[in-house]
């Protein structure tokens, strides 16, 4: 590993690492246990679990080939207990099938954009640097943020900004984009950030941080189909967990957390029709919740790693097969 990548790996602080290890470890202590990291990134959580469990086999999945290359080098000491897969995290069943694994004992989904993606200016994820409007997590995919901004109708742009960014001024921003691109296509992150600032009321600009934050979030979700993938990934991941297996999901905005909450709560609820004298065995919960609501990081962690501040962790354990 080169010096720069060594430093990047060392500087990268996995979010809520100790709590994730604590929650998943009871399912990973037996020989031959399989852990799937559906969003490998720089591999910090995976490295900690491999170090903690000498008989564990890990499957690292990521859509970003750059992340896979870096993790391959970082996790080289565990190479004989590790498989890396280039795929979206909704393809966890396919990844397990290709590796001849029927079930997983634990799954981690650490959602959202990774620190290296934010830090690589040319990726276009951050509004704090000027860069091309890219925002693709998987750069083999064709659709970029520039394409969305320059080809979507005003109505579709409004929908994206409202639904994925929870942006109050979605319509105003969409109309400003349409006016601007009529003169020349939008191409840079700074151009977009300035446009958003100009489009919203002056009073709003003075509070709540950078006014472009919600627009950048919305575009990133749209470009990478993040919520569509998560909607498929949650049942795909929980469906392949062994009895006693555990899932942990780290979300970074309310849309992800809401979807995760609904899915895990549905699996952890007795669905016996009301009025029956006894619960139906086939309607008993398949999972039990391991966290009380969504757990935030500690104050100490957010001070050490400000990017962890918005994280919310939910976890559950499979207690029976349907």
Q: Tokens 């575009």 — which residue? A: 219
Give Cα 77 to chain centroid, integer Å.
Answer: 26
Task: Please indicate if the annotation marks 164 as binding a ligand.
Answer: no
Question: What 3-state DSSP class applies to 263?
Answer: helix
Residue 296: both structure tokens together: 């935030």
Residue 101: both structure tokens together: 């694994």
Task: Please indicate if the annotation marks 117 as binding a ligand.
Answer: yes
Q: State the SS3 of 212-249.
A: CHHHHHHHHHHHHCHHHHHHHHHHHHHHCEEEEEEEEE
Task: Please indicate if the annotation marks 69 as binding a ligand.
Answer: no
Sheet holding 82-86, edge to edge: 82-86, 57-62, 34-37, 104-110, 241-251, 312-318, 287-289
End-to-end CA distance of the chain: 45
What is the C-alpha separation between 290 and 246, in angstroms, rounded? 9
Handedness of CA 76, 78, 79, 83 (dihedral sign): negative
Nearest to residue 237, comparing CAs of 59, 70, 53, 19?
59
Residue 177: both structure tokens together: 């984009």
| β pairing state of 104-110 and 241-251 | parallel
Task: Please indicate if the annotation marks 18 as binding a ligand.
Answer: no
Task: Please indicate if the annotation marks 141 as binding a ligand.
Answer: no
Task: Please indicate if the annotation marks 217 as binding a ligand.
Answer: no
Binding residues for S-adenosyl-L-methionine: 43-45, 62, 89, 110, 117
Binding residues: 43-45, 62, 89, 110, 117
């Amino acid at each position: 590993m080169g010096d720069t990548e060594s430093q990047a790996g060392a500087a990268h602080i996995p979010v809520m690492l100790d709590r994730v290890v604590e929650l998943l470890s009871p399912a990973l202590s037996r020989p031959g246990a399989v852990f799937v990291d559906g969003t490998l990134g720089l591999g910090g959580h995976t490295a900690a679990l491999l170090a903690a469990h000498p008989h564990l086999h890990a499957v690292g999945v990521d859509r970003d080939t750059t992340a896979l290359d870096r993790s391959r080098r970082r996790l080289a000491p565990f190479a004989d207990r590790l498989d890396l897969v280039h795929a979206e995290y909704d393809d966890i069943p396919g990844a397990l099938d290709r590796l001849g694994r029927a079930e997983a004992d634990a799954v981690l989904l650490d959602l959202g954009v990774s620190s290296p993606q934010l830090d690589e200016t040319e990726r276009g994820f951050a509004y704090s640097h000027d860069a091309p409007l890219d925002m693709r997590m998987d750069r083999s995919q064709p659709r970029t943020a520039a394409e969305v901004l320059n080809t979507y109708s005003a109505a579709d742009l409004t929908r994206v900004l409202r639904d994925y960014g929870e942006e109050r001024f979605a319509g105003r921003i969409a109309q400003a984009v349409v006016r601007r691109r009529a003169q020349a296509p939008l191409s840079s992150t700074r151009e977009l950030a300035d446009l958003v600032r100009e489009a919203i009321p002056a009073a709003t600009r003075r509070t709540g941080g950078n006014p472009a934050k919600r627009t950048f979030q919305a575009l990133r979700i749209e470009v990478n189909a993040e919520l569509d993938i998560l909607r498929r990934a949650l049942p795909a991941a929980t469906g392949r967990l062994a009895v006693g297996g555990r899932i942990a999901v780290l979300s970074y905005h309310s849309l992800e957390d809401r979807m995760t909450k609904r899915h895990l709560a549905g699996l952890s609820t007795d669905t016996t029709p009301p009025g029956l004298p006894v619960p139906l065995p086939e309607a008993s919960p398949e999972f039990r919740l391991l966290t009380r609501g969504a757990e935030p990081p500690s104050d100490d962690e957010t001070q050490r790693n400000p990017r962890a501040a918005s994280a919310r962790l939910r976890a559950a354990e499979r207690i029976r097969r349907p």
